[in-house]
Structures are given as C-alpha cells and as structure tokens.
Amino acid sequence: MRPWRPSACLLSARSLRASLVAVLLAGITVAAGSRQLIELSATDIATLVSAKDPLEQLDPSNPSSHLAKILIPRVVDTEGNTQVRNYIVGTMKALDWDIEEDSFEDDTPLGKKRFTNVIATKDPKAARRVVVAAHFDSKWFESGEFLGATDSAAPCAIMLDLAETLNPMLESRATRFDDGEEDDDDVADTTLQLIFFDGEEAFHRWTDTDSIYGARHLAEKWDNTYIQANQKRRLMTPQATELSTMENLMLLDLLGAPNPNIRSFFLDTAWLFDEMAYAEKRLGESGALAYDEEQEMAPGQWRSWFAPRTEHQGNYGGMGDDHVPFLKRGVSVLHIIPLPFPKVWHKLSDDASALHLPTMRRWNLIMRVVMCEYLNLRPSDLKTRGADPESTETGSFVRSDAELVRRSQPLDLYNNSSMFVSRGELYSS
C-alpha cells in the first residue's frame, strides 16, 4: 500500500548489482519498494565524518551533550519524562522542524497515565517520510532508578545528532528543489521524520496491553488520518493517510554497547539493511571507524555488525517492540536491535558504563552515510555553508574518554583504494 511512483522502483546499476547478488545468494526476489539511492563519494564520506564531531553529543561525561540530558530516569508521566521530552522538543525546534506532541491517556497496571509521543518533521508538506524512531521513556523498576542508557537514551541522542548534522544539507536540498534543480522528484519529495515514542516499556510483564503504549496509539491514529487536499502536500495520491505515506520505519533500540550483532528481520527492508552494511564497509575500510586507541575498528581489523543474510532468511517478525503496530498495518520496517540483547538489558547496570564510545560513534557515522544516500543529500553543501574558520562545526577531532584534542587539519581518511569495493564483496571482510 505504500505510494511508490514507478521511478522509485527503478533500480540503479548499483542497486541492481546488489539485488542480483542478493538473489543469487539468497534465492529471493527483489523487494518491491526498494529505493534508488545515490552513492556518496569518498570525499563526501570524509566530509560527513569530519564536519561535526560524531561523539560530542554522545559523550555521557559531557554534561551538555544530548546523551547526558536524556540519561536520567524518565518513566512515563513523571517529571524526568517531561524534562527529557522538553529537551527533545527544544532541540528540534531550534532546528526549525515541525513538532507534534501526540498526547493521550491510557490505563496501565499502575493506573491511568498520560503519554506523549514527539514527532519531528523536517518538511511537513512533503509527500512522504522516511522515519527514524526510538523510545524515550525509561522502564519503571521498584528496586531502583533505571537509566536505560542503551534502552534507549543512546538511540535518542544519535537521532538528535543526526538531525543536527543533516539539517543544513536538507535545507540546501529544499532550495535546489524550489529552484527546479532537483531532477528526481521521488527523492526530493521524501522528508526525514523522527519519532520519539513514549511508553514503550511495560510497567509489569510485557503483554499486548502493557507495552508500546505510544506506538499503538500513533499507528492507529495515523491509519485513520487522511491527508486533506487543502493541506497542499505535493505529489499526494487520493486516500493517502499519515500511515500510508511512511516510506520506511527504521526503529533503533538497545544500541550503544560494544559488538552488536544486527540481523535483517524483514525481506521488505533487506535492501536497506544491505545499505547499512555497505555504509559500514566503506567507513571501516577507509579507516574512519578507528579512533583514539581503538584498533579493533582499524582497516583490516574491524568486523561487520551486520549478519550475512542467508538462504534461510525469512520474515522473523515476532519480536515485540514499537514497530509492531505499524508493521501490522503494512508499513515497511527496519528493526535495528542487537541479538543477543546487551548483557545489561533491563538491569540497573544499563547506565553510562554500559556505553562504548567507539560503538556509538560508529552508529552515528553509519546513520549519517545511509540517510544522506537515502535522501540525496550533498555533504559538499556543508563545506560551502560552514566556511567560518572559527566554527566548532569544522575540523575533525581525536578524542579520548577524558578529553578532546582538535586537529588543525581534517584527516585524510580516504586515500585508501581498498574502499572502492563492489557490493559483491560486501560480506567478505
């Protein structure tokens, strides 16, 4: 039911090669709805790595980082929850994104509670959205204060940093679109939307009615929200709903602990899973993942987090999380959650000490590359916009846990010819 225009289903030579490899390897058909993506150059990727420090906002020891602001107890309908929500809203409003606070009440085993999802949209007039989501509430424990660093403070901080990094490029893309310079309407009319779900956690035991309160509410509401002609959204089909205009939902959960193993759960989004692995491969082989003393992520040493897709691959489904009410209504979902879960899962030790800075940095970079390619953004726009030599947004950083040392020149990360790999080699390292 997703509103794909025919050209969105045309595969580029790159996608075609990837799909052919997938077909040969996995004996599956090419997923309908896979999107034609641009491929960033090595220079573009280097710009994305160095343009904005990928750790500054994820460092729990930096009290003004996004992560530090979110890493407080934030159980549904408490002061901490409101404080974190206001922080998210304030951060996104500062970028001038459209904000919807979707507030409602529901019954829980602990009585009636008020929940509020936060939805931030770069261009609310766009015909379609690619959605990146995570939950911002933390689980209630009788035994003590649970911080939920991986669950899901770190994913929320990654999303805020992603919005800040992409925002200038999204604006340049909009200008090109308005000036008629963007020749691919499909790409140009897809915007980025972030959803911060409230009430993902169960108060007691996880059941259909005690869990994912916010996601259940929003999926049902959007399924019944028809987009009015007078809203003047571009390229809109009749009978379009807020739900049917979601291109893909990428749900991040339990990220930030070292060595995650990520698998593709749904054939619909296997192509997007492959895009993530391909972004990771280019970053890894170029040396961009190695940082500080961390040699495990150096070229030739790093190991992919994305499990090879095999011929036995089916739709795993089954795992409860915020994506389920959307999936049930036909939305295409990429569930980015490690299996096994981090060792600290639902333990009070899921605090700052559970987070591995090089791992969070790597997630940040993968998301930057994938979303730029998805949305046809141009990292070179960052250079022309951020020409202020005093700006902290330029130059690159080498950082230890305790301190941050600025290099005067960006690193030459992409002089390594081994990064020019074909997708056929994707899982060879």
Closest approach, Cβ 54 to ligand 1BN, in A, equals 24
By CB under 6 A, the residues from 117 to 176 that bind ligand 1BN are 151
Task: Please list, in sequence order, all residues whose beta carbon lies within 8 angstroms of the beta carbon of residue 349, skipping any fewer than 6 positions away.
Answer: none
Examine residue 324 and tell whether it contacts ligand 1BN (CB under 6 A): no
Smaller CB separation from ligand 1BN, 308 or 320: 320
Three-state secondary structure string covering 283-332: HHHHCCCCECCECCCCCCCCCCCECCCCCCCCCCCCCCCCCHHHHCCCCC
Q: Is 142 a catalytic residue?
A: no
Smaller CB separation from ligand 1BN, 189 or 253: 253
Smaller CB separation from ligand 1BN, 77 or 151: 151
| Joined tokens for residue 308 | 């090879």
Sheet holding 98-108, edge to edge: 98-108, 111-121, 190-197, 128-135, 246-252, 333-336
Closest approach, Cβ 252 to ligand 1BN, in A, equals 11
Closest approach, Cβ 206 to ligand 1BN, in A, equals 5
What are the two backbone dihedrals, phi and then psi, of residue 199, each rounded to the nearest 5 degrees? 70, 35
Cα torsion 267, 273, 275, 280 to 10°: value is -160
Q: Which residue of 12, 90, 125, 206 would you call a contact of ligand 1BN, by CB under 6 A?
A: 206
Query: What, of ligand 1BN, Zn ion, none, does residue 350 touch, CB below 5 to 8 Å by kind?
Result: none
Q: Which residue of 198, 253, 274, 381 would you call a contact of ligand 1BN, by CB under 6 A?
A: 253
Examine residue 254 and tell whether it contacts ligand 1BN (CB under 6 A): yes
Smaller CB separation from ligand 1BN, 320 or 424: 320
| Joined tokens for residue 89 | 């809203």
What whole-number distance in Å separates Cα of residue 50 and Cα of residue 411? 8
The separation between CA 256 and the C-alpha centre of its own chain, rounded to angstroms, equals 13
Q: Is 100 a catalytic residue?
A: no
Cβ-based neighbour number of residue 406 at 10 Å:
11
| Among 149-157, 158-166, 260-268, 353-361, the segment contacting Zn ion (CB under 5 A) | 149-157
| Joined tokens for residue 88 | 């998210």
What whole-number distance in Å separates Cα of residue 416 and Cα of residue 429? 16
What are the two backbone dihedrals, phi and then psi, of residue 50, each rounded to the nearest 5 degrees? -100, -15
Total residues interacting with Zn ion, rule: CB under 5 A? 2
Question: Rounded to the nearest 5 degrees, what angle is found at the Cα of 331, between the Cα atoms of 328 and 333?
Answer: 100
The separation between CA 25 and the C-alpha centre of its own chain, rounded to angstroms, equals 27
Task: Please list, in sequence order, all residues whose beta carbon lies within 8 angstroms of the beta carbon of residue 238, skipping any fewer than 6 positions away.
Answer: none
| Joined tokens for residue 63 | 């009290």
Residues in the chain: 429
Query: What, of Zn ion, ligand 1BN, none, does residue 253 touch, CB below 5 to 8 Å by kind?
Result: ligand 1BN
By CB under 5 A, the residues from 396 to 425 that bind Zn ion are none
77, 123, 186, 253: the active-site residue: 253
Smaller CB separation from Zn ion, 71 or 163: 71
The closest alpha carbon to 397, from 19, 49, 15, 30, belongs to 49
| Joined tokens for residue 292 | 């500080």
Examine residue 322 and tell whether it contacts Zn ion (CB under 5 A): no
Q: Which residue of 59, 137, 151, 350 would you call a contact of Zn ion, by CB under 5 A?
A: 151
What whole-number distance in Å separates Cα of residue 171 and Cα of residue 386? 13
| Joined tokens for residue 348 | 């009070």
By CB under 5 A, the residues from 100 to 139 that bind Zn ion are 139
Smaller CB separation from ligand 1BN, 146 or 177: 146
Indicate the helix (H) or strand (E) that contains 282.
Answer: helix 270-286
Closest approach, Cβ 202 to Zn ion, in A, equals 8
Examine residue 268 and tell whether it contacts Zn ion (CB under 5 A): no
Examine residue 321 and tell whether it contacts ligand 1BN (CB under 6 A): yes
Closest approach, Cβ 367 to ligand 1BN, in A, equals 19
Query: What, of Zn ion, ligand 1BN, none, does residue 137 touch, CB below 5 to 8 Å by kind?
Result: none
Residue number closest to ligand 1BN, CB atom:
320
Smaller CB separation from ligand 1BN, 192 or 327: 327
59, 151, 200, 210: the active-site residue: 200
What whole-number distance in Å separates Cα of residue 126 and Cα of residue 236? 9
Total residues interacting with ligand 1BN, rule: CB under 6 A? 7
Smaller CB separation from Zn ion, 191 or 211: 211
Q: Which residues bind ligand 1BN (CB under 6 A)?
A: 151, 201, 206, 253-254, 320-321
Q: Which residues bind Zn ion (CB under 5 A)?
A: 139, 151
- The residues annotated as belonging to the active site are 200, 253
